[in-house]
Amino acid sequence: QVQLVESGGGLVQAGGSLRLSCAASGRTFSRYTMGWFRQAPGKEREFVMAITWSGDRKYYADSVKGRFTISRDNAKDTVFLQMNSLKPEDTAVYFCAITNTVGIPTTAGRYDYWGQGTQVTVSS
């Protein structure tokens, strides 16, 4: 079994920054892509960004390009999400997930394991 635990969420003013972390443990895949999704109240879960095992490929949703950065530390099985210039519309529960699908899938159904989520609230 695989466990994913997110941390780093909280309340921040518009224009501020937060750094989310997601640590994986258990029987993870030998090579896996790690991704971040978010879900606002009343909305579907949406893709934010993801990074391949080697870190050589990253993919960002248009809504966060230039503001969010993804990175990973494979020695610690951890992925990070640096969020800058936050906007009220970034408010959501943020989930990390992993998949052994080749490449960078952007649909939630392609991911195999999920964390419990961490709340990010951006006030105006």
Largest CA distance in the chain: 42
The pLDDT tens digits along the chain (124 residues) read 889 999 999 999 999 999 999 999 887 777 889 999 999 999 999 999 999 988 899 999 999 999 999 999 999 999 999 999 999 999 999 999 999 888 899 999 999 999 999 999 999 9
Closest CA to 8 of 92, 82, 58: 82
**What tokens does 121 get?**
């609230």
